[in-house]
Chain A
Amino acid sequence: MEEENITSVNEKLTSFDGDKVFSAKDVSVSYGDFVAIKNVNMDITKNKITAFIGPSGCGKSTLIRTFNRMNDLILGAKVNGTITYQGVDLYDKIVDPVQVRRRIGMVFQKPNPFPKTIKENITYGLKVNNMTDNIDDRVEKALTQAALWDEVKDDLDKNALELSGGQQQRLCIARTIAVEPDTILMDEPCSALDPVATKKIEDLMQELVKEFSILIVTHNMQQASRSSDYCAFFTTKTSDDGKRRTGELVEFNETSVMFTTPDKELTEQYISGRFG
């Protein structure tokens, strides 16, 4: 019975053909007593780039981690409300978080290549996902897609830690797309990189979005306005006694609208640099 359910869930995850990949309803995330972000309602569109912006501590990173259940790894983190991915409730009991992460890849703030060769960084994900056929082709494809192939094709056996920060981050993107997810979450992927490396990642995102849906958390307003199609602005609200700060979604809009004629005054203030 349970097995049947899981199979049907996996089928649903792969066969979905709608326009909305994620749908968040009344989502709140708390760590113990501390509510990091609450009452988020949003739909994420397929094959678009959606950017999360807002001041530090507004729960952007926390929220993005609930989308592939990375928050499960943090002790005491609790998600309320529902997040559906391609029509499946991600927090349903029968959903296996490992399966979720296989479909929804993640790139982190600080480049975190494995301390192994460039090739092994890609093949590790392939191995844990039993994608061991045509390994060399898959490695080349992933590195090409991540715009790194030409720079490393002759040193595939070099240790990944010897690459520059920007190259390391593109390697992390390459290993993420090598396992063929549908969606890529990026948690401030450029915050540790210089402008040149940042530009490369942004160009890369424009290529990747043809094939993947992308969610990106960023502190960089220009980055959000340059590269995203949709934009969500979060802020923190201090409780009445002034002791607790909770993040909430202020505005979710098309990026072109958000950066010209936002609906909310708070958004305009933040974007024009008058607060935050």
Chain B
Amino acid sequence: MSDLTINSGRKSEKALKESIFLFFLYFCVIVAIVTLMTLIYDVLSNGYNRLFGDYEIGLITKLQIDNPGDFLTTLDSRDPLKAGIGPAFAGTIWLMVIVVTATFPLGAGAAIYLQEFAPKNKLTRFLELNLTNLAGVPSVIYGLLGLAVFVRLAGFGRSVLSGGLTLTLLILPVVIVASREALKAVPDTIRQGAMALGATKFQAVFGQVVPSAIPGMVTGMVLGLSRAIGETAPLIFMGALTYVNYFPDNPLSGFTAIPIQVYNWISYPQAEWLNTSSAGIILLLGLLLSMNTLALFIRNRFEKDW
């Protein structure tokens, strides 16, 4: 009986410490979530009407917009209530297409080589180390690189192609690292099993290992892409335009992208521009959120339990 009393005394002291610590952890989570929620609420209340029209809830700003849905397709204008995000939206889609087309073969190829075929020597280790370093380079440096290499040297000009390739360079290290992780997760017994059947190394890697790793590689790719479309600095640095009144129709067209357009609008003095840029942010957030959901879906749907 007395033992029990002693035990419960210790226990309550311990329980107090634990609950204080737990409270601290909850607090950290709440700070993060409240910040995010505040941001989203602020953006929604400023931009919802500009994007979706006559709708009133709480503090949402009421604007007189004739055709709110046109925001996605119309051209930029000097009137904040008429300005559309069309060219920037199209520019971002162009960028996404170019980034995916360039990143998937390059990223997957580099990852497969480094993970499956590269000899374990100093050169390989040097490459791996630099890959990790590249992932930490500030994005504006990539803008400088894009300006020098794609705009000037390759002569692509300040085009959507140069922009896409610049963003490709930016996310390549991240994509390569994620793809290597996906390949690493495929157990060695699969490689050995394939080779014991008389498969060459090449056949084992491309017939068994890579197909098993594809979901993980695609997830990394999508996450890299969602980083790319949110980038502003490298695009401005390599010379993306800020006022575009046409839709880019080929890879060498001049272009702008959603984040640049938003940045541009928000710098104007009239109050209505706040609503217009918020509407742009909602669009960007929607794009990012759906891509991250896609990544999550792929990961959960195809995840393997070896």
Mark A residues whose CB is within 8 Å of B.
68, 70, 73, 75, 98-99, 101-102, 105-106, 108, 110, 112-116, 124-125, 127-129, 161, 172, 175-176, 179
Q: Are B200 and A98 in touch, CB under 8 angstroms?
A: yes
A-contacting residues, B154-206, CB 8 Å:
187, 189-200, 203
Residues of chain A with a CB closer than 8 A to B190's CB: 112, 114-115
Given A106-B196, A108-B189, A112-B192, output 11 extra A-B contacts at Cβ < 8 Å: A68-B196, A70-B192, A102-B197, A105-B196, A108-B196, A114-B212, A115-B304, A124-B199, A124-B208, A128-B203, A128-B207
A-contacting residues, B16-46, CB 8 Å:
none
* Distance between Cα atoms of A153 and B49 in the complex (Å): 60
A-contacting residues, B286-306, CB 8 Å:
304-306
Q: Which of B191, B197, B203, B212 contacts A175 (CB 8 A)?
A: B197
Residues of chain A with a CB closer than 8 A to B194's CB: 114, 124, 128
Mark B residues whose CB is within 8 Å of A.
120, 187, 189-200, 203, 207-208, 211-212, 304-306
Q: Are A128 and B193 in touch, CB under 8 angstroms?
A: no
Which residue in chain B gives the minimum CB-CB distance to A125?
B197
A sample of 24 inter-chain contacts (CB < 8 A) reads A73-B195, A75-B120, A98-B199, A98-B200, A105-B196, A105-B197, A106-B192, A106-B196, A108-B193, A110-B189, A112-B187, A112-B189, A114-B208, A115-B306, A124-B194, A124-B197, A124-B199, A125-B199, A128-B198, A128-B199, A129-B198, A161-B305, A161-B306, A176-B197
Distance of A20 from chain B, by nearest CB (Å): 23
Residues of chain A with a CB closer than 8 A to B304's CB: 115, 161
* Distance between Cα atoms of A106 and B195 in the complex (Å): 9
* Distance between Cα atoms of A105 and B195 in the complex (Å): 10
Residues of chain A with a CB closer than 8 A to B191's CB: 73
Residues of chain A with a CB closer than 8 A to B195's CB: 70, 73, 98, 101
Distance of B151 from chain A, by nearest CB (Å): 44
Residues of chain A with a CB closer than 8 A to B198's CB: 98-99, 101-102, 125, 128-129, 179
* Distance between Cα atoms of A125 and B120 in the complex (Å): 29
* Distance between Cα atoms of A106 and B199 in the complex (Å): 12
Residues of chain B with a CB closer than 8 A to A73's CB: 191-192, 195
* Distance between Cα atoms of A72 and B193 in the complex (Å): 14
Residues of chain B with a CB closer than 8 A to A105's CB: 196-197
Distance of B243 from chain A, by nearest CB (Å): 52
* Distance between Cα atoms of A113 and B187 in the complex (Å): 11
* Distance between Cα atoms of A160 and B102 in the complex (Å): 35
* Distance between Cα atoms of A125 and B203 in the complex (Å): 10
Distance of B269 from chain A, by nearest CB (Å): 59
